[in-house]
Amino acid sequence: MEFSELSVGQQIGTSTIEVTRADLVKYAGASGDFNPIHWNERFATSVELPGVIAHGMFTMGAAVQLVTDWAGDPGAVTGYQTRFTKPVPVQDTDLEPGAVIEVAGVVGALDAENSTARIDLTVTAGGQKVLMKAQATVKMA
């Protein structure tokens, strides 16, 4: 998509991310974050969490995939920020995902001088916002 074709408020799409406990184990291996709140139910509840929760960076990374897919080039994303507001509990299930993260993106601002678009993401799980002010800056052609 060309910069000239964009307008503030324009939707870029939506995505649904199904998360399993196996995904969390794989992410722990890739990231080196083996904190037991991300894989051990007993430990997670002992520190007053609702159960095993997804890594914040896992959630953040999964959400921005909508933007990189839309941009067509991960290198076009020149900035990304968010605030973590709620954990994403991941239930221990065999046949269904343990959590579902919903992502929607809209063009929040345009900078004609730099040919960049700020994409604002709404990220929810279980009907609650889990990321706030999730914003990615994309360098457009």
pLDDT tens per residue, range 86-132 = 999 999 998 899 999 999 999 999 999 999 999 999 999 999 999 99
Global pTM reads 0.94
> Which pLDDT value is given to residue 9?
98
Cα–chain center distance at 132: 10
Amino acid at 64: V
Domain spans, the chain = 3-139
pLDDT tens per residue, range 32-86 = 999 999 999 999 999 999 999 999 999 999 999 999 999 999 999 999 999 999 9
Find out if CATH 3.10.129.10 is the number for domain 3-139. Answer: yes
Query: Which of 95, 94, 98 lies closest to 58 in space, CA to CA?
Result: 98
